[in-house]
Amino acid sequence: MKKLANPPCELCDSAGGDTLWQDELCRVVLVADRDYPGLCRVILNRHVGEMTDLDMATRQKLMHVVFAVEQALRELLRPAKINLASLGNKVPHLHWHVIARFPDDRHFPGSVWSEPLRAGLARAPGRAALERSLRKLLQAVAE
């Protein structure tokens, strides 16, 4: 019987967004989404499906990056809420969504994956400021 090849993985085959920061473990990318400025993904740089596939030190380092992205978005965008999600149902490659939420966004208070409730307002993410903030917050991770 012929063994089936692993299906292609979009997060192995592409950056998954505009890279803001990266090291040997992971990368932080900004996803171009007019409705969700500063929507970021923290993507593990190797194909792993679940957090428990990682050793404890690696989990802690990855979450340190996720929390730094949250902190940077809170400081720069002043959202009403930050949503953190690691789903992987469609793309089973370990990654975290870090999403700044606002009362007037398309889906608030529901999930960004739910039915839209309104048109929403476009906001600029301030890419350069976000990149500077991440570099500063993650300086210790890279050392």
Would you say residue 44 lies in a domain? yes
Would you say residue 110 lies in a domain? yes
Mean pLDDT of the chain: 89
pTM of the model: 0.89
Task: Give the pLDDT mean for 21-28.
Answer: 96
pLDDT tens for 47-75 read 999 999 999 999 999 999 999 999 999 99
Would you say residue 7 lies in a domain? no
Parent domain of 126: 14-142
Indicate the number of domains in the chain. Answer: 1
Would you put residue 4 in left (φ > 0), alpha (ψ -120 to 50) or beta? beta
Asked whether residue 2 carries a pLDDT value surpassing 80, the answer given is no
| Angle value at C-alpha 45, between 123 and 60, nearest 5 degrees | 85
